[in-house]
Amino acid sequence: MGTTASWVRSHRMIAFFALAYALSWSLIPFGSFLPTGALIAALVVIAIADGRPGFRELGSRIVRWRVHWIWYVAALGVPIAIHVVTITANAHLSSAAISFDQLDPWYGLVVVFASRLVDPLNGPVAEEPSWRGFAQPTLQQSNSPLVATLILATLVTVYAWLFNRADGSVLITLLAHAAEGTVRRRPCGPTASTPTA
């Protein structure tokens, strides 16, 4: 264990990425995916490389809520604004009319949003603490925020930018991820199978 622990301490990002991808994709042969793979990988690497101080640091990032109000607006408003623009563009570019009957009631969206915040198998809570809470700050110890973000750029650029602008708050990226997943639950306007009035 001493040699393995020493290697993980010296190569924490390689260990994290290898373990995250191995765990996350390990269930693919069985027709599934392990969404908590990156979180488990981060927790394993933190346990080996940093111990309790590492867990304290990760925990403080997850609950860091004292950030400028504009980052709450960005985290919640940008995904909604993108969805509204997409629905509007779809309505103007297609011949089908949008029916308000197709939309979920607001309280349904609140329930979906709240469940996405706490359900470890539904995205944000399994991903944000690992990618933004562990990987981003670890990469930024030896790289600029730009280089660290470029390393994590595949599918996560917006969240990395938001993380850096909101003083390293994982909570803000978790809110944005949950908001994006909440408004993305349905197609953006009428589809070929959607009955129109």
State the 10-residue block means of pLDDT for the chain, 197 residues long.
88 90 81 81 96 94 91 90 83 70 72 79 78 88 89 64 82 81 58 47
Phi, psi values for residue 108, rounded to 5° = -65, -40
pLDDT of residue 184: 59
| Residue owning tokens 């979180």 | 39
Domain borders along the chain are: 2-183
Nearest to 51 by CA among 95, 93, 5: 5
Contacts of residues 138-142 at CB distance under 8 Å and 24 or more positions apart, as own/partner, are 138/12, 138/13, 138/16, 139/13
pTM of the model: 0.68
* Helices 157-165/69-93 angle, 10° precision: 150
- At 47, the amino acid letter reads A
pLDDT of residue 194: 47
pLDDT of residue 160: 66
Residues 6+ apart with CB under 8 A from 143: 151
pLDDT of residue 45: 97
- At 20, the amino acid letter reads A
Q: What is the CA radius of gyration of the chain?
A: 19
pLDDT of residue 12: 92
pLDDT of residue 197: 45
DSSP state of 189: S
